[in-house]
Structures are given as structure tokens and as C-alpha cells.
Structure 1
Amino acid sequence: MFRPHTLWLALCAASLTHAAAANTASAQHLEPVQINASASTSPLTRHAAGSSRLNLTLMQTPASLTVLERADIEAMGALNTQDILKGVPGVVFADPPGSAGSVFYRGFGSGSLSQLYNGISVQYDAIAARPVDSWIVQRLEALGGASGFLNGAGAVGGTLNVITKVADDSGPISRVVLGLGERTQLAASWQRSLGASAHVLRVELNRSEGALWTQGREREATQLAASWRAPLASGATHTLALEHQHERVDQPYWGTPMLRDAQGGVSGALRFDPATYGVNYNVLDGRYEQTVRWARSILELPLSMATHATHTIYHYDALRDYDNVETYTFKRNNSVVERSNALLQRHDQQVWGSRGELTHHTQLGRHRSDFALGWDWSYNRQTRFPLSVAGPFDQTSPYTPAPSYFLQTPGITRSYTPGATNVLHTVALFAENRTELGAGWALVSALRKDRIALQARNHRSATATNPALFTTATNPALFTTAYHPLTGRLGLVKDLSAQWQVYAQASTAADPPAGVLATAGYSSLRDFDLTRGRQFELGSKWTFDQGRGSATVAVYDITRRNLAITDPNDRTKVIPVGAQSSQGMELSARWQASSAWLLSGHWAHTRARYDAFAETVGGSVVSRAGHTPANVPTVVAGAALRWQANAALGLSLDWRYVGRRWANTANTVWDEAYQLVGLGATLRLTPALQARVRVDNLTDQRYVASLNTSLPYLGAPRSISAVLDLQW
């Protein structure tokens, strides 16, 4: 079907082709493409704001830390922020609509991870960290293990930090990218200095749309970012960064029903009817829609040669809407699919924050000592507007579902009645230090003290499932509580040579016992404190081949205590006594063998277990101690090979392996391991114009991206994408 955007993109393609021809005519030859493999380009010399406020390099940091820069993101062909995670050892991810920020790291899921955006948490990461198009991403930082000392509650398994492009001093930028294929894209970057002044303006624009791989599902997304970097007196600078994101998915895919056994249950390896791959049972007018706006004001103030201050004020505004029928189950001997659980849901979230930091470089005796001190304040308010009808609604063909519509579903109307509002006031003080002890030794420490005040307001009448817990003497609809976590890190680094170091560290974190505080309800608020997590880690980092290669290894042990579990003596109660742990090893390496060949890879082994955990099954309390958490594989591995054949042609091959995962805490249902292969090619048509083609899932592997025993969420089949990239 003809659409206006098709003509628009075609015109853009014609413009790019004309520009390419012009550049070809003006260019006498193609400059050779070389990758500088000197020691200064080693990934271990990169800095990461997501692991410390002391501007430490990866080599100086006593922790497993991965930094993927813009060049890495483009080389791997990452389409969105979750795709970038393919380069982080041990991480698995998926984006089912109801929990699109599903990430698992070191044995823990998204409820126990911090997923930051420019160093900011909106404290609703499992939902708010929905993947966005990667065009506006400058780099991604991943810190493994307990890291509450950075941003407070919610980081037992690790911290992921997405950093977006803003105006900088890198010089003028003019770039347009046109994406072709099933996913069309038009993206542009523009940066300029204003006259002879040091004022810099930058604009980023991205528009993508196209059909997704399941029936009826289409997605459109727009990102617009603008930033202004202005010089102030005394060497200070101020950056104003604004960002608008909008995404809409029509008829979202919620999963593919698995085949049932003769008793109507599920056990063993997941089984599917191949004829149902790609079939979408959602209502035809189903949707997911999100609008997000960010505003940041960043003041950088050098107070002296040794002292520097930074202050950031930020605002986050998000509105998320769901209109879907979300559950599909095989019935009658796997001959029909039953549809149930209609949900109209709206999330209205606002976050305001202020963060101040002061860094100071000094000497303690004859040894260098760097300090960071600061505060973190935020106000987070979220109201949910749920309307749900359980059904079931109908039974339909597994292969050609009968058309149905959301607003024709019995009991559903488009009305938004507030259910509950959670308000979080967070105030924190933090401090960090790195002191050189001599003889190659350095001590790295951090401490953070939070006060998290939570107010939960019930807008509806009390019921058995939504009782009058939300009660105070003065306000029968309001529940209040406060948490006071103290988290920290202590690490020791030993430089064995200029190219080789070893380290040891201990760190802590604090998480909600269940769910997230921005939506916490009855069962996870009453009589509960935050869970406590701690990690011990040993590791080593080194460079080789005159800096052209680098490698890291880490072993760790993480324990999280006081999870919410069913009371073994009273199944109607939940008590905070559960425990979960993980032990593992991570390896990563990168080697620029020559100016033409680049090899990289990573391997992670995780042994995750419930040490003490019980749940109610059929009216009885059953222990799950010794079992593996759902969706956590034992082994995750990846490798990539890039070959610059000549000045114009580059080829790449990448491979990813994810081991067997369990779908339930009983460990009775699982999905087998899977492997994905990708191919890429880059052709430089002129000095300014480049064409890139990528094939994902080359072997068309059918795999489950997110497991459960009700509705597994399948990963995408083979896909091909191509772009024209013009820079001048």
C-alpha cells in the first residue's frame, strides 16, 4: 500500500545518490582506511562515568567494566539500545511489551539492575528502559555486580548506562543516513560552532518505521534531540540538552502459545507448532504507545587546576499507553487458541532531579589522592490507570485468528480511572576516593547514604486484592514509609606492569524485595525493608601485542538476602527471608591483529541459585531452594571478526550463543540453547558516501527471547537491512 513516507524516503534516496555522484566526480581517489592500533587506542584506556565519578579509566577501575563507543555500536549494526548489549559479557535481553526492559546480568533480572539514561535512573527500569533506536546513543557502559554506591537502590546484578549525543568540541558534523528494507529510516546529525565563539549547537533527528516480523505488527518511532553548549566566565560551560522520543507499535506481539500435553499442562522442553510462528493473536487495534521528554541542564565549573564542580538539573516526562488482549493458550487438544486478559493501562510518570558533584585532586603524603563528593535529589511521581478484564473472550484458529477489536471486548471502555499513585522522594550523599599507595598499589573506595521516602496512594475502594494497607491515621488512602540504605565499594588495584593489573573488590547494593518502588503495592510494602546484596570480585586486565590487544577476566560471588517469599507456615503471608546467589566467571578479549583484521570475543559462565525461596503451588508452600532463576543461562558467549579487505570494502561476521534457560522457578520447563550468526558488509562509494548491508540471524534460527510457562516471547527470524550513510 502506498504511503506518503515512502515517497519522502525515495526523494531522500535520490538526493543521497546525487550527492554520491557529485562526490565521486570530485574525488580523485579513495583514501585508505586504517585503524590506529597504538596502545593509546586500547579499550582499557577508555573512561566511564557509569562506574565512578573520578573519571577513572577501565584499567584503573577495580571492577568488570565494558564500554562500547559509537564506532563499536555502528560496527555491530545495533539497531537499538538492547542490540548494543550483545557486546557485554554475560548479558541476555528481550523486549516483550509488558516488560520491555527485560535484561539479565550476573544471574539477576531487571528488578535488580540499574538501567540508567545519561546516568539517571527513573526507578522504573524494567518498563521505562524500553529499547530505543540507537541513532542518538554515543556510548553504552556496563558495570557488573553490586553497584548501589553509584545511584542508590536497584543495582545488585549490575548497572547499565546509555549515554546520548550532545554538543561537544569534536568539530562540525554533517551526516545523513537513509535506511532501506523492511525498516525504513531517515536520520541526521548536525553540529556547528557559532561564528568565532565557543558556542556549539547540535541537533539529532531519527525517524524509523516499518512492519515487524509478526502479523499486523507495525512500528513507528521518532527521536529529536537538541543541545547547546555555551562558554561561561572563568572557563565554565553550560550544556542544555532536550530530547523528545515517541514510539507507537500497532497490534503488539505478546508471545506465541506453546503446545500443551494431554493434561493441558506444560513440562519439559518448550514445544511450538511451527505453523504458528509469526501469527499474532492480539486485537487488530491493539497498541503500545509511548511519549518521553527529557530536559537536562549541565553546569561544569573548574574552581582551580585541582578542583572541578558539576551540577545537573533534569526532568523526565513519560506517558505510556497499552490497549491489548495479552494472553493466548492452546485448548481442546491444541486445536484452538483461547484469548483472555484484556488490559487498558496508562502510566503517567514525572521525575525531577538535581545532582551536584565536586572532584578534587590532591596529595596524601607523597601519594596522589582523588576525591569526589556530592548529593543526589529526586522527586518521582507515577500514576497508573488500569482497566483489566480477565475473560476468556473467545477460542479461535491457531493459524488464522478471527479478527477482534479491543473496544468491542466485553467490559472494556476507553476510560482512564486512576488506580494508585506512588511518590518517591530521594535524597542521597555520596563520596568516592582513589589513593595511590605506592609500588603500583591503589585503593578505590565509595560510600552512598540514601533516604528514600515512599508515599503510595490508593485511588480506589479497598478490596480483598487491594486492601486498606494504604492507611494512615490522618489519611485512610495513603501509606508512607522510608528506607535508609547505606551502600559502598572497596577495591584494591595492583599494577604488575604498565600493561597488566590485578584487582579485588567488595561492593554492596539494596533492592526492593519484590517489584520496583515506583509501582510497589500491598504485598511488597507491608513490613518490608530493602533487600541487601553484596559482591566479592577478583579480576585482571592487560594489554598485549604493543597495545593492539587487550583482555579481561573476572570471577565474582553475589548474594542477595531478604527476598519476599511465601511464609512456609502461613501461605497467605509473604515474608522477607529469601536468598538468591550467583557465582561466575567472565572473559573478554579484543585484538587488532593488523590494520585489516580485528577479532573480539567474550564468554561468561554463571551459576545462579535460589538459596532460600518458597512459593505457593496448588494451596501448598513449595521450596525452590537450589533452583535456577528463570531466564538465566549458564553460558553466554559471543565473537566477532572484522576484515577491511581494501580501502573501499569491509566485511564482518559475528556469532552469539545463549545456553539453556529455565522458564519457571520449579525448573520443570526449559528452552534449549540457541546460536545466532550475523553478517555485515561496508562499501565506501565515495570519500563521503558509504553503503552498509547487514543480515541478522543468518541461519533463521527459531528461538525464545523471553521465557515463561504461559506465553513465551519468540525472537526475530532472519532479517536484512541496508543503509546509505553520507558525511561531509
Structure 2
Amino acid sequence: MKHLPLLASLFGCLPVGSWAIELAPTTIDGEQAPEPGLTLDQSSGMASRLGLSVRETPASISIANRNDIERHGAKTFRDAANTLPGVNASAPPGFGGFVSYRGFTSSQITQMFNGINVSSGLARPVDAWIYDRVELVGGPSSLINGAGSVGGSLNYVTKLATREERAAEGQLTYGSYDTTSIAFGLNHALTEPGAEVQHYARLDVSRNTHHTWIDRQQREAWSLAFSLLSDLTPNLTHTLALEYQDEHEDSPYWGTPVRNPKAGELKIDKHNRFNNYNVADGRYEQRTIWARSIIDYRINDSTSLRNTLYHLESQRDYRNLETYQYNADNSAVNRSTAYQVRHQGQQNGSQFELRHEDTLFGLATTWSGGFEYKVNSTTNHPLNVTGKSTVDPNHYDPGHFYDIPGTQPGFTKDKTNEVTTKALFVENRLGLTDTLSLLTGLRYDAIDLDVTNHRTVTASNPRHFKSRWEPVTGRVGLTYQFIPSANAYVQYSTAAEQPSSTTQVFDVSTGKQWEVGSKFDYLDGRGSATVAAYKIERRDFAVTDPLDPTRSIPVGAQTSRGIELASSLRITPKLLAEGNFAWVDAKYEDFNEKIASGAVVSRKGNTPTNVPKRVGNLWLTYDFSPHWQGGMDARYVASVYADNANTLTVPAYTLLGAFLAYNVDQHTRVTGRVRNLTNEVYAEFAHVSPAYYLGSPRTFEVAVQTRF
């Protein structure tokens, strides 16, 4: 706790008696229909706790709001995240929602739910219906989001009750491969107007079923979100929010094997690309429960506070045969890695924040400070056997999991990891002049890890293992508004991430970023744009030992540098253009890897796997008439490496799409959409062994949506 006095002294300097705060909104307005485009004047609580807009914050921030999600036809978290600059997201089983951004992947990209940071994979979004928006912050953001987030942070924000007397919406979708979706949302006042205490409730429910384009794979998912907004007094508001998500997949798809020889650009047998080599009774299940209690209290005209108390429960079950490789002459597929596991986890915590506006030496200033406490506990129950078998890819019986020698029903505990985090943070914005502002912040985390081994105790696997880390992270940034419609900013930020290993002694991994950028409107406000250039450095992290997956190997350093562009332009009153583009150069600066022969090989200068150098999106939307609207979209993802040696690549791809919509009346809209118009065969992820995790072929869908 050697850093605690520093944080305490900072809080002690805050002039409490004259604090003023504008808390981030706790509700969304279902009646608002903002002009499509970049949301530069919307606030984002994950980028700053000071209530600043995207334009005012010296950081790269992107938001896909509800209108964006619907206009772009996003059905899943992957669809919504991929509309944001530089993001390449996919959903292979076992990865809890894989994201590549700014040269970093997996746990180096924090995925948050309503501003709450959870461990990687503990919770995964099921579909997009219950979410109001998806937010993205580029680079280290440990100041706001806690340990992790070296490459960036994604935040999924759930719909909440609004102060509408009555509102309703529904959507019915049917598409290729018997894809169906039924969803509805209701918002209703529970009390009479003028009552001393006002209550408003919202309920959102969605059900999705999909037979999928992969042989034998079937999916069913439910999402439910309920919230109760209570105005207890004119200054005190309480929101109760509950969410439940349930997902089941039969015979999950784990990838398509690549043909031999494995060198250069990897290739598959396109004739068999719909094959599913998993066992007939393969299974993936996920159940997630969230409960939040949110209090907003305005003490006076200049002081407000917020506290969020939350509980998360999660369980994920796997039962699959996961690895597939061709034999030498590509005439048969060798299957292996029978894996049955249950991941059980829960997280309980509280986030408290206080905000204030005042003057300091005659300069306008805003303060925010608070604390966070959370306990995350996860228990794994793995069963892993070789499970080798060989099948003819043209004619085969997938078999059953428990017919594999060494497998058996039931789960046996392995380890329980309990991570307790206590944090203090403070943030300030100081208006140096009418056009120049300084943003600073500091955060102290005390992280305690307690590992309990439920299996045989050995010298390398003791009954208990404990460790503690106390990272301090921060940010400093300048924003210069050189004209009313345009600004420029520069920022320096740091991050810290606890080690991934649970039984070896590693220090925290550290990261830092320099970023410069600009946010502006142009052509008399018909267009808006953002541009950012950055350099990130990460040091002292660990990767899994390829010869022993229970151990980790220390790595020296990784860097990335890149540029991101985003813009929207109302070309004519009827034609809207939107797009973004990102370029990144990511490489290891210090990484020695032990290969199968036992030799240690330097990977310095190599690019990490599954990191595309370029990612771009383009959307064109045209209003033919008040009733008819149509559009085209394109997405480009550059090739990625499938191994640390950078000898194997997965090719680049371009996806095209189109839609046509008809407004039946002011309430109801019918939309027809084609995805992957050219039926591109592509891998959205380079899986282990290696293998293609293929994206969807061309699909069609029709959706009917209504609002009242």
C-alpha cells in the first residue's frame, strides 16, 4: 500500500464544499433519433468520468449507438464491434469473444459490460438486441477501466428504463439456414404523473435459433434485460438492472483443417468447407446472470455522486473434439484433443464515484474521484485426453464423445482463482484558456491473487498460491480547440495487467501509449471525422509454453504503431456515406520462443498472430423516397499470420453486403438484407493446429421491425 498516501493526499486537496458534477446519463431516450454519423457530442463514461463528450476527451473514442447497430444490420456483438475503426472481432468457441485491435489481442483488449471490467471469457455477449450501444477506447485505459486494457477497451451498454409513459418495439427476422429471431422491448410508467415517487420499467427479450451453414451445428440463444428506474426524490434516483443470457450450441464448429504442405498461404479444401469434424454430441453452453443496483444522488447544484453495486454469475460448459489436421497426402483427417471443461465464475463489486466542477486559480476545473472494490472467483473443471481418430472427409461417422477412451461424464475441480481488487482513482480537467484544456488522472490498484489447487499437490503445483501487485497507472492529455468545429489533442497514458500465470511468479505487465489526433466537423456540419496516430509499448508479459500449456514463458516487449481514420458525410440530402480505416504495424521487440525441437528461437521483429495490418469499413445509404431506403456496405481485412514464426498466413478478404428497406408507415419497417454478396470463402480467425475458423457464406434475411 506504499502508493496509498499519494492518492489520499490528492483526494484531500479537493474543495468538497463547492463541488459540481454532471453524471453520465443513466437512461436512454427511446424517442431520440439523432442524425446518423459520428457521435462526437455524445458522452462516454468509459473514456472519462468527468462527463466529457467524445469531442472534448483527448483520446480515440468510437461509439456504435442503437441507430448505428440497426442501420448496419448488426445481430451479434461481433457485428457491432466490427463497425468500429480497426476492430477485428470473431467468436470462435473457447475464446469468449476474440478481438484484435491496435496490434493486440485476447486479454490485452478489455471487454466490459456497463463499465464493469470482468476477466476474459467470464461473460460473452449473446446478441445485440438488449444493448443500447458499444463503446471503444483506443490504447491503455487502466485509469478508468482498471488492470488490463493495453490495446484498448470495448464496453457493451445495456438498454435501461427511460422516463417515457409508454413505448414498445419488436422485431421478427427470418433468414438463410433457418435463422430466426424474435425480439421485443417495452418501456412503461408504473405510477401516475405527479406522484411523489415515480417508477418506470423496461423489459427486453430476444430469442435466436440458427441451424448454421456448418453440418450438424445448431444454436439457440435467449437474452433478457429488465430494469426499474425509480425517482425517489427530485435529487435521488435508483436503477435496478437485471440481465440473463443463455446460449446452447450442438456440435459446435471448431475450424476447418488446412491442406498440406503447410507453408506460406494456408489453403483448405473448399469442397468440404461445410464439414463438421466435431463429435455428434459436441456441446457448448453458456449462462450469465447480471444484477446491478445504481444510485445517482445530486447533493446540490454543484455536487453529485454515483454508486454501482453489482453481482455476476457465469457458467460455461464444453464437450468437444477440437483439433483437426490432414494426413500427409490430404486424403484423411486426423482428429484429436477431446476436451471437456466447466468454467464457473462469479464477480461481486462496488464502484463509487464523485464529480465536481469549480474554479482553481481562476480557471474552470472539473474533478472526479472514487474507489472500486471487486472480488472475482473462477473455478475450472477440465478433462483433456488425446482422443485420436482418423476419418474420411467425404464419408465419416462423427462418433460420440464418451466413446473416446479416457473420457467420462462429470466434472472434477482443478483450480479456483480468486482475485480481489481495491482501487482508488482521481481525474481532473483544467481549462487553461478558452481553447486549451489539460486532462490528468491517476489510479492505484491493490490486486491480490489466491489460487487453490483441488488436485494432487506437487512441488510445482502447491495447495495454495498467493501473490500481490500494486500498479499505479495514469493519463495526461491536452486538447486545443483551434476553431469552434475542430480540435487537436495529444495524450500519454499507461496501463498495467496482472500476469496470466497462476502458479509462477511474474510481475505485472506494463504498457504505455503516445497518441495525437484531431476531431472535427466539415462542409458546414454535413460531415464529421476523427483521425488518430499512436505508438504503444508493452513490456514484461507472458505467453503459454507451447510444450507445456500449464506453464507460461516471460516475454520482453511488444510494440505497435498505427493510424485510424473515421468519417461520416451527408453527401446529398438523400445520400449518406460512412467509413473508417485503420493501419497498424505490430511486432515483438523481445521474444524468444522454445520450439518443438527444444531450440530457443528469437521472434524479434515478427508480427503477433491474428493481427491484420489493415482493416476498413464503408457504408452507403440512399433514401429513394420517404418510404424506400437502400444501401451497400464493404469490409476489408488484411491477411494475418497463423504462427509466431510468421511462416504461415491466412489470406485477406473483402465482404460486400446490400439492403433494401420499406417504411410501411411511421411505426413499421420491412428490411431485406444480403450478407457476403459475392459468397467469399474466408477465415475470420486463424485457429490452433493451424486451421481456418471460417466466416459465413452468402446469406439472405428479411426483418420486420415496429415501434410505438
- Counterpart in the other structure of 1:504: 490
Cα deviation 1:126-176 (Å, max 9, x = unaligned): x23534210001011100001111121111000100001011225521112
The aligned residue for residue 664 of structure 2 is 685
Q: Which residue type is aligned with residue 224 of structure 2?
A: L
Q: How far 1:86 sits from its partner (Å)?
A: 2.1
Assess, with a 3 A threshold, how the Cα gap between structure 1 residues 351 and 605 changes in structure 2: closer, same or farther: same
Counterpart position of 2:691: 711
CA–CA separation in structure 1 for the residues paired with 2:489 and 2:117: 28
CA distance in 2, matches of 1:64, 1:277: 39
Q: Of residues 424, 428, 431 in structure 1, which corresponds to 2:426?
A: 431
Partner amino acid, structure 1, of 2:358? T
Q: 1:565·1:613 contact (CA, 8 Å) conserved in 2? A: no
1:360 aligns with 356
Q: CA distance change for structure 1 residues 241 and 37 in 2, over 3 Å: closer, same or farther?
A: closer
Q: Does 1:450 align with 2:445?
A: yes
- In structure 1, C-alpha distance between the alignment counterparts of 2:258 and 2:401, rounded to whole Å: 24
- One-letter code aligned to 1:425: T
The whole-number CA distance in structure 2 between the counterparts of 1:332 and 1:365 is 76
Inter-CA distance 673–187: structure 2 relative to 1 (3 Å threshold): same
Quote the Cα distance in structure 1 between the aligned partners of 2:614 and 2:263: 22
Query: Does structure 1 conserve the Cα–Cα contact (< 8 Å) formed by 2:38 and 2:567?
Result: no
> How far apart in 2 are the matches of 1:510 and 1:170?
42
Q: CA deviation at 1:408?
A: 1.7
1:535-684 matched pairs, under 5 angstroms = 535-564=513-542, 576-617=554-595, 618-684=597-663
Tell whether the 8 Å contact from 1:580 to 1:609 is kept in structure 2 after alignment. Answer: yes
Report the alpha carbon displacement of residue 461 of structure 1 after superposing the two structures with TM. 0.7
Residue type of the alignment partner of 1:250: D
**2:321 is the counterpart of 1:325:** yes
**What secondary structure, in the 3-state scheme, does the structure 1 residue paired with 2:69 have?**
helix
- The two structures have a TM-score, normalised by structure 2, of 0.92
Q: Structure 1 pair 130/260, CA: closer, same or farther in 2 (3 Å)?
A: farther
2:509 corresponds in structure 1 to 531
Query: For residues 271-290 of structure 1, what are the structure 2 equivalents within 5 Å?
Result: 271-290=267-286
1:78 to 65, 74, 79: 74
More helix by share: 1
Give the structure 2 partner of residue 104 of structure 1.
Answer: 100
Instruction: For residue 149 of structure 1, give the secondary structure of its aligned residue in structure 2.
Output: helix
Alignment of 1:91-490 (within 5 A): 91-123=87-119, 125=120, 127-181=121-175, 182-194=178-190, 195-196=192-193, 197=195, 198-261=198-261, 266-392=262-388, 394-462=389-457, 467-471=458-462, 477-490=463-476
Amino acid at match of 2:74: A
**C-alpha deviation, 1:665, in angstroms:** 0.8
Partner of 1:31: none
* Counterpart residue type for residue 139 of structure 2: G
* Letter matched to residue 705 of structure 1: E
Quote how far apart the aligned CAs of 1:547 are. Answer: 1.8
1:566·1:621 contact (CA, 8 Å) conserved in 2? no
Query: Counterpart of 2:111 in structure 1: which amino acid?
Result: Q
Q: Show CA shifts across 1:562-607 (max 9, x none).
A: 123799xxxx996645100000011111112233111111111100
Q: CA deviation at 1:289?
A: 0.4
SS state at 1:99 partner: coil
**Contiguous gaps of at least 5 residues in structure 2:** 1-31
Give the deviation of 1:188 after TM superposition: 0.5
RMSD: 1.9
Match for residue 25 of structure 1?
none
Distance in 2 between residues matched to 1:301 and 1:205, nearest whole Å: 30
Contact kept, 8 Å, 2:571 with 2:577, in 1: the verdict is yes
Q: Please give the per-residue CA displacement for 1:661-687, whole angstroms capped at 9, x wherever unaligned.
A: 111110000012110011112111223
Letter in 1 for 2:692: P
C-alpha distance in 1 between matches for 2:543 and 2:136 = 30
SS of residue paired to 1:407: helix
Contact 1:310 1:357 survives alignment (8 Å): yes
Q: How many equivalent residue pairs?
A: 666
Query: What is the identity, as a one-letter code, of the residue corresponding to 2:531?
Result: V
Distance 1:506 1:334 in 2: 51
